[in-house]
A and B are shown apart, each in its own frame.
Chain A
Amino acid sequence: MTYTSHADLGGRDCGDPVIAEPEGLLWHAAWEPRALALTLAMGATGAWNIDMSRSARETLPDYAQLSYYGIWLAALCRMMVERGLVTDEEIDQAQVRVAPRPLSRVLRADAVADVLARGSPTMRDVSAPARFQIGDRVRTRAGHVDHHTRLPGYAAGRVGTVECVHGVHVFADAHAQGLGELPEWLYSVAFEGRALWGDDATPGTSVAIDLWEEYLERA
């Protein structure tokens, strides 16, 4: 089966303008805050990790047609159904038909502040030296991989310069597939506009992208 992400939008031709929005406008429908909170609360149960959520969202076949919280809601339902936590019929009929499955945690109201303030740090202890240093020239992996990844398509097979070394972080590609954290060194790699877009690039522009060591080889 071929993995297709519908979320890898960088550099796609999209003539539509960006529509500014005033500060403080958070919701565009009454259900949106509930969808956000349901997603956070179910995420806090530990039934999946955040990289699995991102993978579930980006592979929704109707991703491009859905609103942002529509994507969240569809992915939430999908992950719960896949894990046998609910059935489509239960959601459609608003009725419990199948006994609940045990979850390791439930987010209680009095724990919300602590859970949000703690977050889920992804930095891990260093177990091997970093392969690259600031200033090193590196080339990114070219070609498709059949799973969730954070190397954007527009930066595949391109040469850039290591700009920051961020330490060792949970490797999203592996984490999304349920293979464990497999932490790796994470870098910001800066690409000149020309290296990404050729003659279409605006002079004096560059893009820095956060990339794990596995995506990179010395250029």
Chain B
Amino acid sequence: MAHEHDPHHDHSELDEMDLRVRALETVLAQKGYIDPAALDVVIDTYQTRIGPRNGARVVARAWVDPAFADWLRNDATAAIGSLGYTGRQGEHMVALFNTPAEHHMVVCTLCSCYPWPVLGLPPTWYKSAPYRSRAVKDPHGVLAEFGVALPEGTRVRVWDSTAEVRYLVVPMRPAGTERLDESQLADLVTRDSMIGTGLPKAPAEAA
């Protein structure tokens, strides 16, 4: 069976990396530098508690509550913190509201800075050379690869998060969602729509 050879998915290399990380953990634990139980808590936190559903709840709240949307616009760190999302890699938040005239998209060309408290850990493509190299120069081309074509005349503003400010895109509320409640609205908000490489789902898609 023919398949492409990818060094990152080669089994012997995976086994080698697995052994190396285990060895490192053993040595660091024996030296008293780490508490292996703390590692389990860290992993569990990002698998179950901190992920893009947090950001979706922020966006849905902004869609239904104009006062919250204003707060988010003026002091995103506090507004997001009021929902319980704070801390590491989201210490200083800015919310970018998409409009019919302007679409926002976020990248970190220098590494992979990403708003962890609201979006969790970044997807592989966000950390990859193609996205980091091309997002700033050819945002429309990148958007097309995500299946997004913006209406003619929409300006695109790319935010390169080169410092400790973290950006959350607030997509526009889809049409035909007047009857949905906040939790149903949150289901329409995709991770990619909060990075700016996607749009929220239409109500029918989410059903």
Contacts and interface: CB of A to CB of B under 8 A. Distances in A.
Contacts of A202: 138-140, 156
A118 B87 contact: yes
A85 to B, nearest CB: 7
Given A58-B111, A68-B124, A119-B88, A152 B162 contact: yes
A34 to B, nearest CB: 5
Chain A contact patch, size range: 35 or more
A40 B87 CA distance: 13
B92 A206 contact: no
Given A86-B27, A107-B34, A40 B42 contact: yes
Contacts of A58: 110-111
A33 B43 contact: yes
A60 B46 CA distance: 27
Nearest to B155: A204
A37 B25 CA distance: 10
Nearest to A90: B27
Interface string B24-52: 11111011111101111111011100111
B88 A120 contact: yes
Interface residues of B, number: 86
Interface in A141-192: 150-152, 154-155, 164, 166, 169-170, 172, 186, 188, 190
B140 A68 contact: no
Contacts of A150: 110, 162-163
A18 B145 contact: yes
Interface string B141-166: 01001100000011111111111110
A9 B132 contact: yes
Interface string A31-65: 10111111011100100000000100110000011
A106 B109 CA distance: 32
Contact of B18 (A30, A109, A151, A210): A30
Given A68-B112, A106-B35, A186 B25 contact: no
A11 B137 contact: yes
B91 interface: yes
A72 to B, nearest CB: 10
Contacts of A23: 51-52, 123, 190-191
B14 A112 contact: no
A122 B33 contact: no
10 contacts: A11-B136, A16-B129, A29-B14, A120-B88, A150-B110, A164-B94, A202-B139, A206-B158, A209-B160, A212-B163
Interface of A: 5, 7-14, 16-21, 23-26, 28-31, 33-38, 40-42, 45, 54, 57-58, 64-65, 67-68, 70, 73, 76-77, 85-86, 90-96, 100, 103, 106-109, 111-113, 115-123, 150-152, 154-155, 164, 166, 169-170, 172, 186, 188, 190, 196-197, 200-202, 204-212
Given A34-B21, A113-B45, 17 more contacts: A10-B160, A23-B191, A26-B46, A31-B17, A38-B21, A45-B33, A85-B31, A93-B23, A106-B35, A107-B38, A109-B35, A118-B86, A152-B160, A197-B137, A202-B138, A205-B139, A205-B157
